[in-house]
Amino acid sequence: MKGNNIDGLAQRKSWKDIFPALRDITDPVWREAMQSIQEMTMPPKTVVIRKNDPCRNFLLITQGTIRVYQSNEAGREHTLYRTHAGEICILTLQNLLAGTPYSAEAVTEDEVKVIGISAGYFDRAMSHSQEFRQLILSTLSQRLNDMMQLVEQITFQGLGLRLACMLGQLFGQRNANTIQITHQELAIALGSTREVISRLLKEFECMGCILLRRGEIELLSPEALGRLTQGHAA
């Protein structure tokens, strides 16, 4: 099964259906902010955020995926996380709350649709809308928990296990048996090299977990991949 059912559903829904928690906020200040919403569509590989630029909008993703990453002077990238349809852009949230420029960069991985609320309306909603403020704090709490799990994963798990976990997440997020991704993209996401990732993927293929093709990976056995993510094979 190909494609992303979440994104397909997003194309048929308004942003209010995709973010029901925001839609249901009744505070007048938030209702006023909703009137200022701007909708934008960006093609794949569009730079959404540049490091050190000022943060002017609170962004919500209604379709597609945005990859947030850091890069060093040598041009090597390390993926921090991805924001998918139905999620708040944590990078913009962080910098709006801190009043600081962007601390990382972000690029679209496919066609992305977002809605934006200007920083001024966001600040007013945070100050005067208790419902909006509680939702934002809940989102931050969940992301903090996710970050702690990521730190634990990086600290205690081997690269093979991390790769298996990432593949499992990608297949699940896209609700598909085939994903379009290169060995280099996986290497960047995991802070490794293409050669090492290619060797591990070949091992997974020999185990009957996946089938490798140019630019894509097909899931052959969820059960076998699941055993890898549980650390039963390394």
80 Rama sector, left if φ>0, alpha if ψ -120 to 50, beta otherwise: alpha
pLDDT attached to residue 133: 93
pLDDT at position 10 over 50: no
The domain covering 5-154 belongs, at the CATH homologous superfamily level, to: Jelly Rolls (2.60.120.10)
Q: What are phi and psi of 13, to 5 degrees?
A: -120, 155
> What confidence tier does 157 reach under pLDDT thresholds 50, 70, 90?
low
Percentage of the chain with pLDDT > 70? 90
What's the whole-model pTM score? 0.61
Can you tell me the distance from the alpha carbon of 109 to that of 105, in angstroms, rounded to the nearest whole number?
A: 13
In three-state form (DSSP H/G/I as H, E/B as E, the rest C), the secondary structure along 194-208 is: HHHHHHHHHHHHHCC
CB-based contact 135:60 (threshold 8 Å): no
158-229 CATH choice from 2.60.20.30, 1.10.10.10, 1.10.3720.10, 3.30.360.10: 1.10.10.10
Give me the chain's average pLDDT, please.
86
Q: pLDDT tens-digit profile of 40-75?
A: 999 999 999 999 999 999 999 999 999 999 887 777
Can you tell me the distance from the alpha carbon of 41 to that of 57, in angstroms, rounded to the nearest whole number?
A: 15
Give whole-number Cα distances, 178 to 84, 150, 202, 213, 221, in Å.
18, 25, 16, 10, 12
Q: Are strands 77-84 and 65-71 parallel, antiparallel or unpaired?
A: antiparallel
> What confidence tier does 154 reach under pLDDT thresholds 50, 70, 90?
low
pLDDT at position 165 over 50: yes
Domain ranges of the chain: 5-154, 158-229
Give mean pLDDT, residues 142-153. Answer: 73
